[in-house]
Chain A
């Protein structure tokens, strides 16, 4: 099994801040990584696939990068609608998700 570890598990930030979330894989997953955003009571929403490609309609302030075992999701200027929980997901071997990072209002 490939374990995905996200950090931090939560963070507090203000509108306009630049934030970065890290996702570490227990094994080399090349660039087989996706990112999702989930708001309370809703299903996850695909943001980024293949490490860095924005899904349709996703704003360019979301930036994905990384390779191998270490990946990041950066929001360059946090907007009010971005307060949510973010998850990474690998597809190198079967599928597995990280534990999530909650982005809260400071």
Chain B
């Protein structure tokens, strides 16, 4: 049974760097058929795609966030990661990690982690 679990701080200060982890169980992230992605959701912006990463390390980022986003993975721990720099209140959201079938369809999601950016 595939399970994804986000972890990280629930609170970040403006201008800081936010780092989130996604732990995957029940399947290997080293899979040719799947990418792994991050999506966030806020009342203001709704669902917003952040980016995808392939097991080879190839990444694809949202143009609006590209300058602040880095995604990486650790196959030995079956985890992937999100780093978002220079956060502001506008980055307050629930952050979901997800498996991405053929890089296009988010077919399994974590439960989400709520992140608040506030001083």
Contacts and interface: CB of A to CB of B under 8 A. Distances in A.
Interface of A: 1, 32, 34, 36, 42-46, 49, 55, 87, 89, 91, 94-100
Contact of B106 (A1, A32, A44, A96): A44
B58 to A, nearest CB: 15
Contacts of A1: 63-64
Q: Chain B contact residues: over half helix, strand or loop, or mixed?
A: strand
A97 B104 contact: no
B106 A36 contact: yes
Contacts, number: 54
B33 to A, nearest CB: 13
Given A32-B104, A49-B101, A94 B49 contact: yes
Contacts of A32: 104
Nearest to B96: A43
